[in-house]
Amino acid sequence: MKALAGRVLVRWETLLVLAIIAVGIWSATLSPFFLTRANLLDLVTPYVFVGLMAFGLTFVVITGEIDISICSTLAASIVCFAQIFAAGVNVWAAALIGLCIAGGLGLVNGLLVGVLNLPSLAVTLGTLAAYSGLAFVVLSGEGVATFPESFTKYGGGYLAGNELPIALLVMLAFALGLGIVLHGTRFGRYLYAIGSNREAARLSGIPVTRVRVTVFVISGLMAGIAGLVYVGYFGSARADAASTSLLDVVTAVVLGGVGIFGGTGSMPGVLLALILVAEVRSGMQLANLSGQLQNIVIGVLLLVAIVAGNLISAARAGSRPAKLHRRRKGVRANARADTQVIADSNP
């Protein structure tokens, strides 16, 4: 797997790096300030929370599921955090409670999908709405806007003479930590196995149900952490926080090379993709493109990423794409192909 992963990473990651460079060049032509150190370091800061959510989502997608409720989980957890803090609790204690809530919301998803075996799309579509509504209900009124600087610096603070954003360090730390978990631990290997072939994983003694529930908890927790950074950066906790960010999160994951059907993907890829998304948005900002227009571009980027992924895996499998493939699938479908035949113990 390492060698194959090596080969895949070399292809996809290289493309991402090249894209990052290309977009960088384009942005530099738009403004002389782009290539300054301060600007480059600060490029990703407004999207750190997106990246953190993307890292969590990556775990879920690799196991073959999807979680579109993450942005709502973020909103719900920070709203609770803000209310608890406003009630007089120490900011760090309140943050911890907020994280627990985020994990709990993820647990709900995990139980419904992992234990009851409900389809993750439908479930997280429902919890997307439920958690969002919950957020608004908890925070009836205006957002809370005053948090101590000792807290907000993790989202919006800077080191080294105002140039190195702490949020960037936070994101890199999590990318590293989660990356090690994903690529270097037994748990990570479980994810890839379950995503590639759940039945074989189960037969190999892998605790499939437990793992599936856990990834949703991780997704929830990462949304909670993203929320804390969000509050630090934007300075306030609103019930509609991150409500428009789902597109960016999903794009970062898909563009990062994580296969939407599970079983493939890498953390470095998602990190690079996140940097690319941030760079594209900032470049568009420089070019004075409105936020909505930027969304169009990101949306197209998402579509292109999937199509590119399809084409690459088709090319690697040696068969010709789409149409011909479909006809052959129809052929195999009739004889109920392998399962039936194997059961019959052919040849």
Partner 1 sequence: MSLLELRNISKSYGGVRAVDDVSFAIEPGTVHALVGENGAGKSTLVKIVTGVIEPDDGELLIDGQPAWIGDAQTAYRLGIVAMYQEPTVFPDLSVAENVFAGRHPRSRLHTVDWRAMEDDAMRILRDLGVDFGAGTPVRGLGVADRQLLEIAKALSTNARLLIMDEPTAALSPNEVDNLFATVRKLRERGVAVVYISHRLEEIDALADTVTILRDGRHIETRPAGELTQGEIIRLMVGRSLDALFPKEEAEIGDVVFRADGLTRRGIFADISFELRRGEIVGLAGFVGAGRTEVARSIFGVDPLDGGRIEIEDRGFRPRSPRAALRRGLAYLPEDRLHEGLVQPMSISDNTSMAVLPAVTAAGFLRPRLERSLARRFMQQLSIKATSPAQVVRSLSGGNQQKVVLGKWLAAEPRILILDEPTHGVDVGTKADVHRTISHLAAQGLTILLISSELPEILGMSDRVLVMREGRLVAELSRAEATQENVIQAAAGVREAAA
Partner 2 sequence: MIAHVRAMKPQELAAAAFRLREIGIVLALFVVIVFFGSRATNFLSVSNWQDIAQNVSIVVVVAVGETMVVLTRNIDLSVGSIVGLCGYLTAATLAHHPGLPIEVAALVAVAAGLGLGLVNGFLVAVARIPAIIATLATLAIYRGIDAEITGGKNITASQLPDHFLSLAGSKPLGFPALAWIALGVSILGAATLRFVPWARDFYAVGSNPDAARFAGIPAGRRIIIAFALSGSLAGLGGFLFASRFPTLDSGAANGFELTVITAVVIGGVNVFGGSGSILGVVLGAVLVATIADGFTLMRLDEFWKIFFNGFAIVAAVTIDALVTRRLQEALRRRRAALLVPPAAEAKA
* Residue numbers at the binding site for partner 2 (CB under 8 A): 66, 68, 112, 116-119, 121-123, 125-137, 140, 239, 246-247, 250, 254, 260-261, 290, 292-296, 298-300, 302-303, 306-307, 310, 322, 326, 329-330, 333-334
User: Which residue, 32 or 347, has its beta carbon nearer to partner 1?
Assistant: 347
Q: How many CA atoms lie within 13 A of 15 on its CB side?
A: 15
Output 207 or 299, the one with its CB closest to partner 1: 207
* Closest to partner 2 by CB, 124 or 196: 124
Q: How many residues bind partner 1 (CB under 8 A)?
A: 45
| Nearer CB in complex with partner 1: 153/202 | 202
Q: Which does 296 bind (CB under 5 to 8 A by kind): partner 2, partner 1, none?
A: partner 2
C-alpha to C-alpha distance for 251 and 12, rounded to whole angstroms = 15
Question: By CB under 8 A, what part of segment 245-274 binds partner 1?
Answer: 263-264
Report phi then psi at 319, rounded to 5: -95, 170
Minimum Å gap between C-beta 188 and partner 1 is 8
Query: What residues between 288 and 327 interact with partner 1 by CB under 8 A?
Result: 327
CB atoms within 10 A of CB 238: 21
Q: d(Cα 162, Cα 235) in Å, to the nearest integer?
A: 18
The yes or no reply on residue 207 touching partner 1 (CB under 8 A) is yes
Angle of CA points 97, 44, 8, to nearest 5°: 100
- The tokens describing 80, both together, are 């609770």
> What is the rounded distance in angstroms from the CA atom of residue 106 to the CA atom of residue 70?
8
Q: What is the C-alpha separation between 96 and 116, in angstroms, rounded?
A: 29
Minimal distance, residue 117 CB to partner 1, in Å: 16
Sign of CA dihedral 249, 306, 66, 205: negative
Binding site for partner 1 (CB under 8 A): 1-4, 184-190, 192-193, 196-197, 199-207, 263-264, 327, 330-347
